[in-house]
Structure 1
Amino acid sequence: MIRTSLVGALFSALYIIIDSIIPLIILHFLVDYLTKLDDGNDVKRKAA
């Protein structure tokens, strides 16, 4: 929960600096996508 709050604060600060939400949407997608890729690798390692 603390990590999520810190990431939210970071995204808020970036929004204030950039003044556009589009780069943040892309960044959010990339973070979620890379996290999902990492989760998939753990399943393959455990099965081997």
Structure 2
Amino acid sequence: MVAFQICLQVWLTSSLLADGLAVSGQAILAYAFTEKDHKKAITTAILAA
């Protein structure tokens, strides 16, 4: 049961971190598109992949 709890906590932490990175990436992409900064949008998309 302890091993399950540890794995659950590690999984939840990593999934929340990934969600935060995804949201910040979307915000950067949206800003780059509205400013017509296509180079920044391409760079962000490449780094996010």
CA distance in 2, matches of 1:47, 1:35: 18
Which aligned segments of 4 or more residues in structure 1 are displaced greater than 3 angstroms?
none
2:10 corresponding residue in structure 1: 26
Unaligned runs of 5+ in 1: 1-18
User: Counterparts in 2 of 1:1-48, with a 5 A limit?
Assistant: 19=1, 20-48=4-32
Give the superposed CA RMSD.
0.8
Query: Percent identity between the aligned chains?
Result: 13
Query: TM-score when scaled to structure 2?
Result: 0.57
- Bigger radius of gyration among the two: 2
| Aligned residue pair count | 30
Query: TM-score when scaled to structure 1?
Result: 0.58
CA distance in 2, matches of 1:33, 1:27: 10
Unaligned runs of 5+ in 2: 33-49
Structure with greater contact order relative to length (CA < 8 Å, sep ≥ 6): 2
